[in-house]
Amino acid sequence: MRLGKRQLQELLFYLVLTRRLEEALARLHREKELSCPLGLRRGLEAVSVGSAFVPTPSDALSSSLPTLGTLLLRGVKPEEIVLQFLGKAKAPSGGRDPLQPFGDLSRGLIGTTGHLASHVSVMAGMAFAYRAQKQDRVALALVPDEAVATGDFHEGLNFAAVSKCPLVVIVVRYPGASFGHGVTQLYERAKGYGVASLPVDGSDLLQVVQVVGTAVSRAQAGDGPTLIEAVLRSSRRYFGNESAIPSPLDHVERLEAGSERESEDVDDDPAWRFEKFLLQQDWLSESDRSALVSRAETAVADALRAADSASDPDPSTADAVVYASS
């Protein structure tokens, strides 16, 4: 997949926007503004943005990872994400569930549950429906590596393999930051199902775009599902999967102070790595970079201001979208 200079700079913008939005949410969490757990994963941006860049808007995406970039690429505004975490009335879930995994069928976003791999079977079912209806559409699911220990993961992958469904499953291996045990060379397991498998450096945005593009092309050609193992380089994170888990707050403070560039982390960090690559290739100037950062920071600042004045949901409407009316 060949990308032009403008597309490459737009990808960098979404990496920066994702990072700035996560920093803002981290500050809100520290200030006790959020009533829900917050799981922010630094280093996930390339997978988050790259996996959503390739599929078309008609393709379905679902993620049980904190992939804010995926939401942003699908047209979800930063304001909506902040409203969601704050549980406001105008949030995507109407304040009923102040967590990130929300669905929006109009944007091809399929919501998930707390079960890490349950949506693999759901997305396999959607992919089967696309194939049965002869639609040129693909279903894509993102899961953490611990999800491979669940029945839903294997049942969904097996069903997709037998039915040759246009399904792409991306398993993210995040060193030292999973609930369970990581699996070495996970993509090799796909051979047991007769499924194509591809490894990718999950910290390299261009590699992610290329590999996901290959998997989507296979699915569209009727060649069945693909399992991608995205291995991230850095295990650094802002917060744990639950807000009760101790977190390296000193690092968050350094980020807020603006001293986020640590030379030893450049090759492990997706945003800094991609920025460095564009600068070296003369596809990005310092003025371009400043404009991208300013644009991202303005978008986040506007989102915070809008959310600050947003109203809380009316308790009397709590069951408005829970029960069907007769």
Domain that holds residue 56: 5-308
Q: 102, 93 in Cβ contact below 8 A?
A: yes
Give a yes or no: residue 326 inside a domain: no
DSSP 104: B
Give a yes or no: residue 40 inside a domain: yes
pLDDT tens digits, 103-158: 888 899 998 877 778 889 999 999 999 999 999 999 999 998 888 888 889 999 99
Longest CA–CA span in the chain (Å) reads: 63
Give a yes or no: residue 317 inside a domain: no
pLDDT tens digits, 32-91: 787 677 777 678 899 999 999 999 989 999 998 888 999 999 999 999 999 988 888 888
Give a yes or no: residue 25 inside a domain: yes
Give a yes or no: residue 318 inside a domain: no
Total number of domains in the chain: 1
Give a yes or no: residue 321 inside a domain: no
How many Å apart are CA 4 and CA 35, to the nearest integer?
Answer: 42
pLDDT tens digits, 208-264: 999 999 999 999 999 999 999 998 876 554 444 444 333 433 333 443 444 444 444
pLDDT tens digits, 172-208: 987 654 444 444 567 777 878 889 998 899 999 999 9
What CATH number has the domain bearing residue 21? Answer: 3.40.50.970
Give a yes or no: residue 12 inside a domain: yes
Give a yes or no: residue 325 inside a domain: no
Q: Nearest 5°: phi and psi at 198?
A: -140, 130
